A and B are shown apart, each in its own frame.
Chain A
């Protein structure tokens, strides 16, 4: 299918991109990898008046690790870059893993982590882990830059807190606390390469053998990726044994609000939240125990 006509811009700076968005107004779409935008155009779900490419903006695809502050993933960084980055694999293994589990090789070579977040699908593969790790998004608009916790970023299916004229330029993930571990777990109907029917991200911070902080984020079981806060509470301040993990997993399942759709029934999703939360907590704990104190 061919696309209907639209204007195409390829600005050299974020500021220019932001100005273009404001000037054109409704009907202007940002293009990074295009793996979501072009599919939507082809299916007639959006009819862009203008497409503003981010791909000519210098250094937007930078991945930078500051061992003191944290990790910055530029908006232009491809999923494949994140999946294969040595620093991310070493210090943020669950972030690399979530990127590696997004779509297929061809799409990962084009698509970006930032785009995956901006598309704001409830099933967005990269959201749960990043949210569990307290990631923030960097938004640049006409009034300068602001940083927003990823937790406050999603507003509904396809909806985000991005204001008109704002460009998401980077994702910032703080340095993981000492003795912490993260995990990403997901499930789908087709086995190895598929969109998730349920996904879970978890981070556990240990103090001795007690859980000091626990963050559990569920994907594809609510309009936006959601924290399972009551489940987190069950573990916080406690020594995490199998019983308590099962209890937290049960609680996460109760907190989830899935619907039945073509990918899975609500009942199946609920029971998978329990299984995946348990697996995510176990893996995160395992990693936390092995982490340097």
Chain B
């Protein structure tokens, strides 16, 4: 294991104080002179043709400055999958048709929010209602309503992965079982609802402050939908109150703010309400997962056949990626010598599902891990022993996908069993009490270039100054996950500086290095971390040369940067301060600023990701056998995220994951009727709160990931996956009820108990 100065320490977040004291500026805090307030008119119908829109009364309301409908816009479709334009199926405002309750139909900008909302009431839209399909079954049956004419089957994406010979694998199996699992939609429920402010300059160029994970994607797609050049758009990301995958696309309000800012010459702000977020916002894909697995008598896995139907909602959004990834995650964790995956992404008349923390893994792994627990039960094996027998290890390859370059899965399983006293608890629990296990593997960013950019995946710029400070410019977007802190720590380590020596500017497309696909898929620490190191090394190359020449060293030394000094290794007496070294380089270059660009694009790492992380979790539950209520009493976690960059940050991610996994397993769901969401506030959208959080214990299994910055890889996103299967298994252990249909509600438990 390498030794570090700052990496692995508990470093408080650079934005912590501003957030704790309420001084951090979020998009909705921005107020500009003459700013207008926008509001969106949304479809009240799940599927309809727009016959006529009359905006006259709304436009005539005093205080209303601008009203637009799809007809006023350039009508250019967009979507994140630019590589395949056929997948780009959304207009900023509806053209001809609406496809879900909440689909954006028109926008109003007025002098204040109340006037804008009042104007919405005056809009007159004549619809011709069309039959609608609310689930994958209804959308794929014969004669089903067609959402998009280009896709008469409603199947917008399909994907197959196959290797080995599954037929042979099943033939050679002693034990084969098939199960169908269904999982439901849940909300990202980020604390900051979506918000943006657009301003136009005298040349018509746009500056957009927006709560996003992906400033570069917003910049490109906003330019294309407005018929502008990318450089005409500047996207700045203020503090962001969480994203979890829900803020990684161009959104209609961003387009409307920019479009109406140009039309009126005044800044325009949109801020969504929580009700809008819950009723119409992006969400995790509901899926139906049919899974068949085969084992030898001794527990050796022989084959897996996985078929997944994704309920995509009305548009593709990030559905294509989810379709690819749930198949990839289905092949992770264990050695499946023969594997087949078929995935279909299906349109339905509901708010679109998209990326959400785990990105296909929570669904795929709920099925895989639950089935592993069922199989262990059937074969009379301990579920952790069965996992250890089949676990992936360092060096394993997944055909066409990746080579696992570091893997601490077996160590995680053994550690979590030890921590939780698994063997004893699994044998001796009272009725109503149980323990269960679930595991995960996750990616450190994606490799497949669906956004189709010619730029590096991630980039960073370092400017060094003779006062001993540096300025780091990066498009890595801090959405609350702490990337500003993490990349600063990596730079501080590499240059031997302190956190306070580094100024950071992140996520401003006019200032920070072009491209970088943003914060999603747990890509930032690995990819941007590598780009930062690349830039820092270029700086070091220059200062080492200058120091060497200045000291007239006649031996070729290795140099190092440490504690603000630059010196030949082992010869601190020949060193100087970092600032003095920078000044030498500048003097040698006619005063040119000392600046270096670094970048990272994975090479030779397969199709999916440069690195995988792993982990195992045990849940202990108490089930009230009369009410069916489940209390999670404790969670134990052991996970391998490579080198830990910041312990505090990893722990925070783990707690957040458990919180989200808890809601997914037990209490969160959308109550919908004919496409209409009935629970649109936190009173009835049952996200767990602080009082519901179980105590936990965790251990980081340290491995060193050669592809990662200082050995680091993903930490935090993958952890959202094991919680639901672990809780489900614990509930089975406590009650005998095996959940194959999330969420685990008291009613489902009681109904099952009644049957027995």
Does B88 interact with chain A (Cβ within 8 Å)? no
* Interfacial residues of chain A within 237-269, with CB under 8 A of chain B in the complex: 262-265, 267-268
* Interfacial residues of chain B within 62-114, with CB under 8 A of chain A in the complex: 113-114
Total A-B residue contacts, Cβ distance less than 8 Å: 48
With both beta carbons as reference points, the residue of chain B lying nearest to A263 in the complex is identified as B684
Are B746's CB and A2's CB within 8 A?
A: no
A81 to B147, CA, bound (A): 56
With both beta carbons as reference points, the residue of chain B lying nearest to A192 in the complex is identified as B691
Does B54 interact with chain A (Cβ within 8 Å)? no
A122 to B667, CA, bound (A): 22
With both beta carbons as reference points, the residue of chain A lying nearest to B271 in the complex is identified as A1
Are B692's CB and A195's CB within 8 A?
A: no
Residues of B within 8 A of A208 (CB): none
Taken residue by residue from 265 to 278, chain A's Cβ proximity to chain B (1 for < 8 Å, 0 otherwise) reads as 10110011001000
Are A275's CB and B747's CB within 8 A?
A: no
Are B114's CB and A275's CB within 8 A?
A: no
A276 to B375, CA, bound (A): 37
With both beta carbons as reference points, the residue of chain B lying nearest to A195 in the complex is identified as B683
Most chain-A CB neighbours within 10 Å: which of B114, B627, B745? B627
Question: Within the complex, what minimum Cβ distance (angstroms) separates A7 from chain B?
Answer: 17
The answer to whether residues A262 and B684 also contact, given A191-B631, A275-B626 and a CB cut-off of 8 A, is: yes
Does A187 interact with chain B (Cβ within 8 Å)? yes
Q: Which of B679, B691, B747 contacts A262 (CB 8 A)?
A: B679
The answer to whether residues A191 and B688 also contact, given A1-B273, A2-B113, A272-B627 and a CB cut-off of 8 A, is: yes
Are A190's CB and B688's CB within 8 A?
A: yes
Question: Within the complex, what minimum Cβ distance (angstroms) separates A259 from chain B?
Answer: 13
* Interfacial residues of chain B within 650-682, with CB under 8 A of chain A in the complex: 667, 671, 678-679
Does A104 interact with chain B (Cβ within 8 Å)? yes
Taken residue by residue from 593 to 632, chain B's Cβ proximity to chain A (1 for < 8 Å, 0 otherwise) reads as 0000000000000000000000000000000001101010
The answer to whether residues A104 and B689 also contact, given A191-B667, A268-B746, A268-B750 and a CB cut-off of 8 A, is: yes
* Interfacial residues of chain B within 670-713, with CB under 8 A of chain A in the complex: 671, 678-679, 683-684, 686-689, 691-692
Question: Within the complex, what minimum Cβ distance (angstroms) separates B376 from chain A?
Answer: 29
Does A46 interact with chain B (Cβ within 8 Å)? no
Residues of B within 8 A of A189 (CB): 667, 686, 745-746
A264 to B686, CA, bound (A): 12
The answer to whether residues A190 and B627 also contact, given A1-B113, A262-B684, A268-B746 and a CB cut-off of 8 A, is: no
A39 to B667, CA, bound (A): 23
Are A190's CB and B113's CB within 8 A?
A: no
Are B692's CB and A192's CB within 8 A?
A: yes
Question: Within the complex, what minimum Cβ distance (angstroms) separates B120 from chain A?
Answer: 12
Taken residue by residue from 90 to 109, chain A's Cβ proximity to chain B (1 for < 8 Å, 0 otherwise) reads as 00000000000000100000
A43 to B627, CA, bound (A): 33
Question: Within the complex, what minimum Cβ distance (angstroms) separates B174 from chain A?
Answer: 42
Are A271's CB and B688's CB within 8 A?
A: no
Question: Within the complex, what minimum Cβ distance (angstroms) separates A199 from chain B?
Answer: 13
Residues of B within 8 A of A195 (CB): 683
Residues of A within 8 A of B691 (CB): 191-193
Taken residue by residue from 169 to 200, chain A's Cβ proximity to chain B (1 for < 8 Å, 0 otherwise) reads as 00000000000000000010111111100000
Does A143 interact with chain B (Cβ within 8 Å)? no
A272 to B114, CA, bound (A): 43
Taken residue by residue from 190 to 230, chain A's Cβ proximity to chain B (1 for < 8 Å, 0 otherwise) reads as 11111100000000000000000000000000000000000
Q: Is the interface of A mostly helix, strand, loop or mixed?
A: loop
A267 to B687, CA, bound (A): 23
Are A265's CB and B747's CB within 8 A?
A: yes
Are B686's CB and A194's CB within 8 A?
A: yes
Residues of A within 8 A of B746 (CB): 189, 268
Residues of B within 8 A of A104 (CB): 689
A271 to B754, CA, bound (A): 12
A135 to B691, CA, bound (A): 31
The answer to whether residues A193 and B689 also contact, given A1-B273, A268-B747, A268-B750 and a CB cut-off of 8 A, is: yes
Question: Within the complex, what minimum Cβ distance (angstroms) separates A38 from chain B?
Answer: 14
Are B747's CB and A2's CB within 8 A?
A: no
The answer to whether residues A4 and B629 also contact, given A190-B688, A268-B750 and a CB cut-off of 8 A, is: no
Residues of A within 8 A of B750 (CB): 268, 271
The answer to whether residues A191 and B692 also contact, given A262-B671, A262-B679 and a CB cut-off of 8 A, is: yes
Residues of B within 8 A of A1 (CB): 113, 273
Most chain-B CB neighbours within 10 Å: which of A194, A263, A264, A265? A194
* Interfacial residues of chain B within 697-756, with CB under 8 A of chain A in the complex: 745-747, 750
Are A193's CB and B692's CB within 8 A?
A: yes
Residues of A within 8 A of B631 (CB): 191
Are A187's CB and B627's CB within 8 A?
A: yes
Taken residue by residue from 273 to 295, chain B's Cβ proximity to chain A (1 for < 8 Å, 0 otherwise) reads as 10100000000000000000000
Residues of B within 8 A of A271 (CB): 750
With both beta carbons as reference points, the residue of chain B lying nearest to A190 in the complex is identified as B686
A1 to B39, CA, bound (A): 12
Residues of B within 8 A of A191 (CB): 629, 631, 667, 688, 691-692
The answer to whether residues A190 and B747 also contact, given A262-B679, A275-B627 and a CB cut-off of 8 A, is: no
Residues of B within 8 A of A265 (CB): 747
Question: Within the complex, what minimum Cβ distance (angstroms) separates A258 from chain B?
Answer: 13
Most chain-B CB neighbours within 10 Å: which of A191, A194, A195, A264? A191
A272 to B628, CA, bound (A): 10
Question: Within the complex, what minimum Cβ distance (angstroms) separates A112 from chain B?
Answer: 19
A43 to B626, CA, bound (A): 37
With both beta carbons as reference points, the residue of chain A lying nearest to B692 in the complex is identified as A191
A189 to B747, CA, bound (A): 10
A145 to B684, CA, bound (A): 38
* Interfacial residues of chain B within 157-215, with CB under 8 A of chain A in the complex: none
Taken residue by residue from 30 to 63, chain A's Cβ proximity to chain B (1 for < 8 Å, 0 otherwise) reads as 0000000000000100000000000000000000
Task: Show 7 residue pairs from A and B whose CB-CB distance is below 8 angstroms, ordered by the A residue.
Answer: A2-B114, A189-B745, A190-B686, A190-B688, A190-B692, A193-B689, A272-B627
Which residues does A use to contact B, with CB under 8 Å? 1-2, 4, 43, 104, 187, 189-195, 262-265, 267-268, 271-272, 275
* 10 A-B pairs with the lowest CB-CB distances in the bound complex, closest first: A192-B691, A191-B692, A190-B686, A262-B671, A275-B626, A262-B679, A268-B747, A262-B684, A193-B691, A189-B686
What would 11 more interface pairs be, CB under 8 Å, given A193-B689, A262-B671, A263-B684? A187-B627, A187-B629, A189-B686, A190-B686, A190-B687, A191-B629, A191-B691, A191-B692, A192-B689, A192-B691, A268-B747
